[in-house]
Chain A
Amino acid sequence: EIVLTQSPATLSLSPGERATLSCRASQSVSYSLAWYQQRPGQAPRLLIYDASDRATGIPARFRGSGSGTDFTLTISSLESEDFAVYYCQQRTDWPRVSFGGGTKVEIK
């Protein structure tokens, strides 16, 4: 079973700053990785799929990168609505998926 480890658990930043979130897989998942944003009290929202493709309607400030075991979600300049929890997800054992434990981006 592939385990996804997200770091840091919490990221404290100010609006306008750059956020860099990490997701590491216990073994290679190739490009089979997605990122989701979950705001308080809301359902998750797809941001990135196939490691680097932005989902429909997602602003360009969100960028996904990486392959194999190391992935990064970068938010170039944080806006107020970006303070949320972010999850990575992999699917190499079709159709089962697993999620990372999440990174909370909070206002400093």
Chain B
Amino acid sequence: QVHLVESGGGVVQPGRSLRLSCEASGFTFSRYAMDWVRQAPGKGLEWVAMIYYDGSNKYHAESVKGRFTVSRDNSQNTLFLQMNSLRAEDTAVYYCVRDSGGSNSPKFDYWGQGALVTVSP
């Protein structure tokens, strides 16, 4: 059974940093691309970042480019999101997502329970 468990969320001041982790189990982690998707309180879904199965390529949304970095450790079945220079508008629940889609095929088939990040003075 596929499980994705995020950790590392919390309250942080603007301008500070936070690192989210996502521990994966129940599937061969190293065979799948992984994404981060966030959801601000009461709002819709926003894609944040994606990393290839082997970590060779990484992509970030324009809203976080230069501040957030996605990475992974396949030996530990863990996905990371390093968030620097945090802003109030980064306040959201961050979901770790397994990406089973190919090019031109969105298919986020498993989601974690989410980690709440609150950026506040």
Contacts and interface: CB of A to CB of B under 8 A. Distances in A.
B104 A92 contact: yes
A44 interface: yes
A96 B107 contact: no
A90 interface: yes
B113 A36 contact: no
Interface string B80-121: 000000000000000100010101111111111110000000
Interface in A15-37: 30, 32-34, 36
Interface stretch (B9-17, B21-29, B43-51, B71-79): B43-51
Interface of B: 33, 35, 37, 44-47, 50, 59, 61, 95, 99, 101, 103-114
Interface in A30-78: 30, 32-34, 36, 43-46, 49-50, 55-56
Nearest to B47: A97
A20 B33 CA distance: 32
Interface of A: 30, 32-34, 36, 43-46, 49-50, 55-56, 87, 89-92, 94-102
A94 B95 contact: no
B109 to A, nearest CB: 5
A95 B44 contact: no
Given A30-B104, A32-B105, A91-B101, A99 B114 contact: no
Given A34-B108, A95-B50, A99-B46, 12 more contacts: A32-B104, A33-B106, A43-B113, A43-B114, A49-B107, A50-B105, A56-B109, A92-B104, A95-B33, A97-B35, A97-B47, A102-B45
A96 B50 CA distance: 8
B7 to A, nearest CB: 15
A60 B28 CA distance: 29
A89 B35 CA distance: 14
B70 to A, nearest CB: 11
A99 B47 contact: yes
A75 B108 CA distance: 21
29 contacts: A32-B104, A32-B106, A34-B101, A34-B107, A43-B95, A43-B113, A43-B114, A49-B101, A50-B107, A56-B109, A87-B44, A89-B106, A91-B105, A91-B106, A94-B103, A95-B33, A95-B50, A95-B99, A96-B61, A97-B35, A97-B47, A97-B106, A97-B108, A99-B45, A99-B46, A99-B47, A100-B44, A101-B44, A102-B45
